Structure 1
């Protein structure tokens, strides 16, 4: 892996991950898509039929496998909030980049998206409470934090590429 993207749902991980992979000539992997391929069913079905605990175990196994492959990895919104996953991410030599977005931006992007189990289960207040509870966990796992609200996907990719090109990346805020 060249980079791992983390952040709350709707922060742009998949969009930016695909563009970054394209522009760096590597593969893009979306952890949620890898989980779906492994399970043979949609994430909403995994949550409904086996529950979140089963999903999180499958997510951890899939994360470990994904880190052994080349490219850019976009994680699910809950991935770094699980202690075992956070340990995997922070122990990995691969840079972890947090894409952060405001409450308004997140709500604009995820409202009405039936493919997101938590959007279906939580009202707006509960969804934003979840985002705020997860924020410190994201930040603890991140080597770089990018506030994305005022940036296009291309600007975010350029910021990441510039940071990755530095001789020694340090924890940074962009």
Structure 2
């Protein structure tokens, strides 16, 4: 992996990950899509039929496998909130980048998205409380934090590419 993107749902991980992979001429993997491919069913069905604990275990196994591949990895919003996953991310030599966004931005991006199990099961106050709770986990795992609110995906990619090109980053990745 060249970079791992973490952050709350709606922060732009998949959109930025795809664009970043294009710019760096590498592959992009979305952890949620990898889980769906392995399970043979959508995430909403996994949550409904097997529960969140089952999903998190599948996510952990899939994360370990994905980190062995080249490219950019966009994680799910809850990936970096599981202690075992945080330990894997922190032990990895791959830079972990937290894409952060304000509550208003997150709500605008995810409020009508029926494909997100937690959006379907939580009211807005609970969703924002979950975002606040997850922030400490994201901060612990992140090597770089980018606030995405006022930036386009292209501008976010530019910040990441510039940061990755710094000599201290090149030495850390080597």
Q: Which residue of 1 aligns with 2:145?
A: 145
Q: Which residue of 1 aligns with 2:70?
A: 70
The yes-or-no answer on 1:43 pairing with 2:43 is yes
Q: Which residue of 2 aligns with 1:130?
A: 130
1:169 Cα deviation (Å)?
Answer: 3.2
Separation in 1, partners of 2:169, 2:68: 21
Q: Which residue of 1 aligns with 2:60?
A: 60
Q: Structure 1 length normalisation: TM-score?
A: 0.97
The yes-or-no answer on 1:156 pairing with 2:153 is no
1:112 Cα deviation (Å)?
Answer: 1.1
What are the superposed Cα offsets for residues 66-105 of structure 1, whole Å, 9 maximum, x if unpaired? 0000000000000000000000000000000000000000
Q: Structure 2 length normalisation: TM-score?
A: 0.97
1:134 Cα deviation (Å)?
Answer: 0.4
What are the superposed Cα offsets for residues 124-172 of structure 1, whole Å, 9 maximum, x if unpaired? 00000000000011011000000110000000000000000001139xx
Q: Which residue of 2 aligns with 1:27?
A: 27
The alignment partner of 1:146 has SS state of strand
List gaps (5 residues or longer) in structure 1. Answer: none
List gaps (5 residues or longer) in structure 2. Answer: none
The alignment partner of 1:145 has SS state of strand
The alignment partner of 1:11 has SS state of coil
Separation in 1, partners of 2:56, 2:45: 14
Separation in 1, partners of 2:169, 2:104: 30
Displaced runs of 4+ in structure 1, greater than 6 A? none
